[in-house]
Amino acid sequence: MCQNNNNYQDPKSQAHHDEHEAWNRRTFIQALGLAGAGAFTLGGSQISSAMASPITAALTTSTNDRILVLIRLKGGNDGLNTIVPIYDYGTYASRRPSISLPQNTLYNLNSNLGLPSFMSSLQSRWGNGEMKVVQGVGYNNQDLSHFRSSDIWASAVETTNEETGWLGRLFENEYPNFILNPPAVPPAIQIGSLGNLIFDGQQTNYAFSVADPQQLYNLAQNGWQHDVLNVPPCTYGDQLSFLRTTTNTTFQYAGVIHSAYQASTTQASYNNNTIADQLAIVARLIKGNLGTKVYMVTLDGYDTHASQAATHADRMQKLSDAIDAFYTDLAAYGNQDEVLAMTISEFGRRVEENGSNGTDHGAAAPMMLFGPGLNGNGFVGNHPSLSQLDAAGNMIHNIDFRDVYKTVLQDWLCIPQSTSIKPCSMGIIIP
C-alpha cells in the first residue's frame, strides 16, 4: 500500500501513514486469528459440518451453478488509464502530460473508448462478447481514505461505521446456525485482503480465508496445513502438536478443498505472479466442483501516487493476462459459462496528474465484468465528464456501486430482493 509513493509528499502524510498502520493492524489481527477461526471451533474442539445451505440448494437447482469471482484491485485503480476516453482525448492528455497513453496505442472498444495496449489479452474477450464495463461507479460524498472507502465498498454502507459486509450479511441470513453447524463446503473463499470486512457477519467471517495463494496451494495440495505427527518428543513438541492441531481444526474445510483441487488439472498457461497464481487455484477448485459460490482474489499495488505509468501498466497487464488464462482454463472443463468475474476497487484516481508523475486519490472509476455468461460486450452507463468535476477535482459518479452488487446478486446468483444491500438508487440492469 502506497509502496510506489517514495517521492510523493502528501501534506496529510502522517494521517495517511496512520491510516495504513490501522489497516495493517486489522490485517494482522485477522491473520493471527486464522481469519474466522471462531466459525470452525468451539472450546478448542472441532465442529462437525453436515448442514446443507439454503442458498447452495437454491443455486444448484437453478439452470446452472453460477459462481461469482471478485477481483479486488487494492489501492484505488486509475480508471482513466484503464478505459481511456477517446471521445475527449484532448482534455485527458492535457491533464496528464506525463502519464497519458498515446492514442495510437489504444484498441478501440468503440468510437469513444479505448483499451490500453498492455491490456491486449482482453481484446479477444471483448470481441467474443465476454466483457462489460460499468462506467463512472462510486458513491455520494466519496471518502478518499483507503481504510474508510474500502470499508464502504465492503459493507455497502457509507453513512455509518458498519462492521459487517454485504456478503457477510447475506450468508448470515442464509446460515443462521453457521457456528454450530457450518455447511459442508465453504460459502466463500478469500485470498488476501484479510483485513477486509466483505464476508464479516455479526458473529463470524463466512469466508475460508488465507493470506496468500501459496498458503491455499499448500492446503489444496496436502489436505492439511500443519504436520502434527513429526514433532519432537518433549514438552515443546507436545505444545507444538497442540497448537498445530488447533490450527488444523480451524481449517476443517481442508479435506473438501484438497479433494476438489485434486479432481482437476490446470489447462492453461498462467504467468508466474500473484494474481495468476490466485486465479489458477480458483479455477482448479471450480473445475473440481467444490461448490463454493463466491471467491475473492486480490491484486495490490494500485496506489500510484508516483511513477504511475510503469507500475499501473504492469498491474493491468498481469491482471489481463491472468483473466484470459483463467477463462481459457475453465473452458477446458466446460465451466466458463457459469463463472462471472468482477473487479472492485475502493476509489479511482484524480483526473489531473500530480508532481510525481502519478495520481492522487479520486472518486468515480469503471468496474469490469468478464465471462461468456454476459449477454455480449458493451458499456453500462455514461463515462463521467473530465471537465465538470467535484470540488476536489474528481470525476462525479453516475452509478452507485451498490446497484452493481444488487444486480449481480439478483440477475446472476438468482438471489431475489436481497436485504444485505439497501435498495438500488438508480436501478441499473446489467444485461
Q: Each residue of 313-341: pLDDT tens digit?
A: 999 999 999 999 999 999 999 999 999 99
Q: Beta strand 84-85 with 113-115: parallel, antiparallel or unpaired?
A: antiparallel
| Other Cβ atoms closer than 10 A to 359 | 26
Specify the pLDDT at position 56.
Answer: 32
**How do strand 188-191 and strand 207-210 relate by DSSP bridges?**
parallel
pLDDT of residue 228: 58
Given this model, what pLDDT does residue 215 score?
78
Query: Which tens digits make up the pLDDT trace of 384-409?
Result: 999 999 999 999 999 999 989 988 88
| Mean pLDDT taken over the chain | 81
pLDDT digits (tens, 9 = 90+) for 101-150: 999 999 999 999 999 999 999 999 999 999 999 999 999 999 999 999 99
Find the mean pLDDT for residues 180-192: 88
- The rounded percent of the chain whose pLDDT value lies above 90 is 58
| Of residues 40 and 356, more confidently modeled | 356
pLDDT(206) > 50:
yes
pLDDT band of residue 224 (cuts 50, 70, 90) is low
Tens digit of each residue's pLDDT (9 = 90 or more) over 245-294: 545 545 678 888 889 999 999 999 999 999 999 999 999 999 999 999 99
pLDDT value for 6: 38
CB burial of 308-339 (b: ≥16 within 10 Å; e: otherwise) equals bbebbbebbbbbbbbbbbbbebbeebebbebb
Q: Is 231 helix (H, G, I), strand (E, B) or coil?
A: coil
All domains of the chain, ordered by start, with CATH? Answer: 13-412 (3.40.720)
| Residues of the chain above pLDDT 70, percent | 76
Q: DSSP strand E in 316-429: where? A: 339-344, 365-370, 378-380, 399-400
Residue 375 or 331, more confident: 331
Q: What is the pLDDT of residue 253?
A: 83
State the pLDDT at residue 305.
98
* Residue 340 DSSP SS3: strand
Beta-carbon contacts of 117 under 8 Å, excluding residues fewer than 6 positions away, are: 101, 105, 106, 107
Instruction: Please spell the DSSP secondary structure of 42-107, one letter per residue.
Output: ETTEE----BPPHHHHHHHTSSS--EEEEEEETT---GGGTSEEGGGHHHHHHH-TTTPPPGGG-E
Give yes or no for a contact between 54 and 192, defined as CB atoms under 8 angstroms apart: no
Q: How far apart are CA 289 and CA 28, in angstroms?
A: 32
Instruction: Give 296-324 as a DSSP string.
Output: EEEE-----SSSHHHHHHHHHHHHHHHHH
Instruction: Determine the straight-line distance between the first and last CA of the chain, rounded to whole angstroms.
Output: 35
The whole-number pLDDT of residue 342 equals 97
Higher pLDDT, 113 or 1: 113
Instruction: Say whether pLDDT at 30 is over 90.
Output: no
Identify the residue whose cell numbers are 437447482: 61
How confident is residue 244, by pLDDT bands cut at 50, 70 and 90?
low
The residue among 314 and 186 whose pLDDT is bigger is 314
Give pLDDT tens digits for 32-62. Answer: 222 332 222 212 222 222 233 332 333 333 3
Reply yes or no on whether the pLDDT at 423 is more than 60: no
Q: What is the pLDDT of residue 240?
A: 65
